[in-house]
Each structure stands twice: as structure tokens, then as C-alpha cells.
Amino acid sequence: MSLKNWDNKTWLSSTDYIKAFNNFLIRQIKLDKNSSILDIGCGRGKIIGNLSSKLRLNKMPLGIDIEKHKDRDKRIVFTKLNALKFLKNNKKEFDLILLKQTIHFFEYKEIKKLIFLCMKSLKNKGKLIIFTLETKRNEIPAFSLMKDRLKKSLRRDQKIIEFLSNSYPGNIKKKFSYKVKISKKKYIKMIKDRYISTLLNFRQGEILEGIEEIRKKYKEKIYFNDKLICLILKK
């Protein structure tokens, strides 16, 4: 099962979230109309599409995603190529390469190669910026089984962050947090749509049981902070 709904009609696709995220992003790196940007795992491309408009980029940013969404952003150049294959044959250089909640999809042996190729594809003073879910104080609303599997996934993310931090000692760590307010009804639909990779391998019965738990556990309005770790690697 593929991840088709992570940025589809959720807070992650809202104008407010995208604005907050891009404002955070441009505080981490100097970008202008001449900047070149690559987003690996771009989803529908709404984030870098908005960034392209904000910066009035001369060249459309490039987005890579294995899902060919019908409603992908028209302000980006989209490719469905495997990221490793693309980077291996890539001749372009980028000011920014973005990996937002994507790196956990790669095997450990692939991550080392991926980061090496990303760093090789950066311009002088370019940056690779990696975002993962907050691994220790995560607030994502979850039912019991979802929480257990999410914790397991986050432990792996933590190991990846530690590995990259040790491999690139000049790295910078930041935190991004967004206050989410969502109706329980809408959040339940997101769970049905398996909006997060943790839910992909759940059986339908497990999803339905989890939804009942969410119904009992949360009020009609759900509030939480969507927290991300931001790791910045410089060339």
C-alpha cells in the first residue's frame, strides 16, 4: 500500500501550515529568485510550489515523488524517478535539497548513499535540510497500537538522526512546531485514509478498532503540536 494521503486535505496541505513551514525554512537558508531547489518526497509539491511563488523563482523547483498525484502543484517540475537513480545521473547543482519526512522510507544502506549524492549535488554553500517527526516528545494523536508502532518508527528515526549527526559533525539542529486544531471527525477520516506511514500495514480491522478508541479518547476538537526535528547539513 502506498502513501497517497499524507498531504491531501490535512493540516499539512493548509495554507497556514505551508506559510509557517516556508517562513521557518527561509530563516535557515538564504534563498532568492535565482535559487535552485530540489524536494525529495515532495508529495503534491504544495510546499515548494508556494516557496517558488514566494521567492519568484526564475527556474521552477524540482520535485521527486514515487506517487504521480493528479493534483500535483503546477509550479514545480515533477519526476517520478527513484531518488537514488535521479541523483546518480544528476548533473545539476542545487542551493537547497529538502527531505521532509521522507528519509525513513530508505533502508540504512541506502541512506548513506542518498546523503552522499545529495551533498555532491549541492552548490557551494548549498544546504541539505532534513525534517523528521520529533522522536522523543511527539504529540501525534494515536490509538494504542498506532502509538506502539509509531514509537518503534521514531526510534529508528532517532538512530538515523544520530548517524547523520555523527557523520556530518558541522550539522545544525533546529525544531519546527505547528499548532494543530482539527475536528475529531476529520482526523478519523485521515486515519481511514492512512495519512501517515505508520498506518500503511495495519489490517482494516485494526484501523476500525483504532477509530473507536480515538472516538472515546478525544473531544470533538483535537489540539496538539506537530513537531519536527530539522537537521541542516552544509556543503
pLDDT of amino acid 3 = 52
pLDDT of amino acid 70 = 76
Question: Taking the chain, what is the end-to-end CA distance rounded to the nearest angstrom?
Answer: 36
218 inside domain: no
Containing domain of residue 27, as a range? Answer: 11-181+225-234
pLDDT of amino acid 68 = 75
Cα(121)–Cα(64) distance, integer angstroms: 15
Task: Quote the cell numbers at residue 79.
Answer: 519526476
pLDDT of amino acid 2 = 46
25 inside domain: yes
Cα 174 from chain centroid? 15
pLDDT tier at 1, thresholds 50, 70, 90: very low
153 inside domain: yes
Look at residue 5 and tell me whether its pLDDT is greater than 60: no
pLDDT of amino acid 12 = 85
Looking from the CA of 121 toward its CB, the CA atoms found within 13 Å total 26
| CB neighbours of residue 170 within 10 Å | 8
Say which CATH number the domain at 145 has: 3.40.50.150
| 12 CB burial (10 A radius; 0-12, 13-18, 19+) | buried
Cα(43)–Cα(21) distance, integer angstroms: 15
187 inside domain: no
- Per residue in 26-82, pLDDT (tens digit) is 999 999 999 999 999 998 899 999 999 999 999 999 999 987 777 889 999 999 888
6 inside domain: no
Look at residue 216 and tell me whether its pLDDT is greater than 70: yes
Whether 95 and 36 have beta carbons less than 8 Å apart is answered as: yes
| 64 CB burial (10 A radius; 0-12, 13-18, 19+) | buried
Q: What are phi and psi of 44, to 5 degrees?
A: -85, -5
Look at residue 235 and tell me whether its pLDDT is greater than 60: yes
73 inside domain: yes
Whether 103 and 83 have beta carbons less than 8 Å apart is answered as: no
109 inside domain: yes
pLDDT of amino acid 6 = 53
Cα(77)–Cα(45) distance, integer angstroms: 9
Output the 3-class SS for 67-94: CCCCCCCCCCEEECCCHHHHHHHCCCCE
| CB neighbours of residue 157 within 10 Å | 18
- Per residue in 165-192, pLDDT (tens digit) is 999 999 999 999 999 999 999 999 999 9
Closest CA to 74 of 97, 55, 49, 51: 49
19 inside domain: yes
DSSP 3-state of 209: helix
Count of the separate structural domains present in the chain: 1
Cα(95)–Cα(128) distance, integer angstroms: 8
pLDDT of amino acid 81 = 84
